Amino acid sequence: MTASESTGTDRVALAFSGGLDTTVCVPLLEDEYGYDQVIGVTVDVGQPEAEFAEARETAEALDVEHHVVDARAEFADLCLRSVQANATYQGYPLGTALARPIIATAIREVADAEDCVALAHGCTGKGNDQLRFEAVWRDTDYEVVAPVRELGLTREWENDYAAERGLPVEGGAAGRYSIDANLWSRSIEGSELEDPATVPEDDIYEWTASPGREPELLELTFEDGEPVALDGDPMDPVELVETVNEIAGAHGVGRTDMMEDRMLGLKVRENYEHPAATVLLTAHEALEQLVLTYEERAFKSQVDQQWAHKAYQGLIDAPFVEALEAFLGSTQERVTGTVTVKLEGGGCRPVARESAYAVYSERAASFNEEDVGGGITQEDATGVAKYHGFQSRLANSAIERGRDRDTE
């Protein structure tokens, strides 16, 4: 909907953080688009408490009806689904991408309850989030409104507009970066970080300390591919992720500085923190190495990549994803056991793993045993060794004969 199409009698539900973009959107939706009432919706996917305080204070100052929806459990469940798929995009564990469909769905549900006619967000026309929100919203009869994109706004214009209108926005150095935090990751972008040649200062990080602590071992227990306990203590998904974030972050685990290829074709510099995601993905993959066959692992790597790509796009409800998860589910039935990881020097690596479903025979692998069992002895490998590479040897001989003929 554009300003000329608005009726001036309707309510719009706005994805509301209380930051610059969404604060500016409130008067724009009222004055430029003519909506009668803006309803701000903040969805809890594990952000710091300070962000909710900011959203509440800003909404009150703007006289905006404000809803806070707790979606941490739904988001944590989706994060653990991503672990089953070993899901990363170009090295990034997908925290922001996974959160957006959860947030968009929660806002739509508020809009349903509040008799809204439109849904709005403060995303720019250059990023991924506009696509992730609208992938959920455009499957409804709601009008979808994006003031920042549709009016071509810049941060400089927004700051000037906020100052002119006396809008309650955070300023100064604290607002230098664009920050997005949830249970699974924290992203930092903007300002001098937009220059790929800039070395970030350590003060951009909040979840991860500079490495230097004594090494620490963590034991993760998995059932059907999902982590369910830490060091033998059962935990629900939210508690588990929060606890591992704190422990691993203290060791400096989970920093990513990358050039990310966005969906619109732009290449952007992104900095991420994701301690728990790094630990859980590392442990899960180590357990799969123990319990899955070579063929399963080889094919699953392709399925994992496809799942992660659709999740990056915000299309986790696509029929293709359902088909991918049918295969994932069949493999995860055996991904049950424990993995011990070592946190050291900012890194995380598996150092032990155990499962009743292990596709492993210590006798077969041991250098101290003459045979592998089942009536198979070392001598039986001689015939295999003779055939191994046979076709390549034939091909190389044929190539050499052809070269000889060409030189005659």
Catalytic residue positions? 21, 100, 129, 178
How many other CB atoms are found less than 10 A from the CB of residue 406?
7
| Integer Cα distance of 220 and 234 in angstroms | 10
Q: Assess contact for 130 and 314: CB atoms under 8 A.
A: no
> What are phi and psi for residue 155, nearest 5 degrees?
-60, -40
